[in-house]
Amino acid sequence: MLTHEWRELEVLCQRISDLRHRYVAAQRTKNVGLIEGLKDDIAKARRQREFLVQYISARLGSAAADHDLALAVRESVDEDAASDIHGFRAG
């Protein structure tokens, strides 16, 4: 269901890690232009990660609600079927 999104999150987290390593290396060489560019890239990747986490959380929440609703309907149908078998309807 959310396999693609989880994989995308994994790739994004790896990208942030790689950018941080590059940022540390740029600081050692005192390459100001590269440092600023990497700061921007890290900030953008973090925003993307936050958006993706919110999206996944919302999808998981709606999937859980759908599952709970389906379970409740199934239990209701099972109770109705059981009461019909015994010749009376539970009120």
Domain of 44, in residue numbers: 3-84
| pTM exceeds 0.85 for this model | no
Helix axes 32-85, 3-29, angle to 10 degrees: 160
- Nearest Cα to Cα of residue 37 among 52, 50, 19: 19
- Residue 70 token pair: 């389906």
Q: What is the number of structural domains in the chain?
A: 1
pLDDT digit string (tens) for 25-79?
Answer: 999 999 999 999 999 999 999 999 999 999 999 888 886 666 665 666 666 656 6
Residue 51 lies in a domain: yes
Residue 74 lies in a domain: yes
Buried-exposed string 28-63: b where 16+ CB fall within 10 A, e elsewhere: eeeeeeebeebeebbeebeeebeebeeeeeeeeeee
Residue 89 lies in a domain: no
Q: What does the pLDDT read at residue 40?
A: 98
Residue 52 lies in a domain: yes
Residue 57 lies in a domain: yes
Residue 90 lies in a domain: no
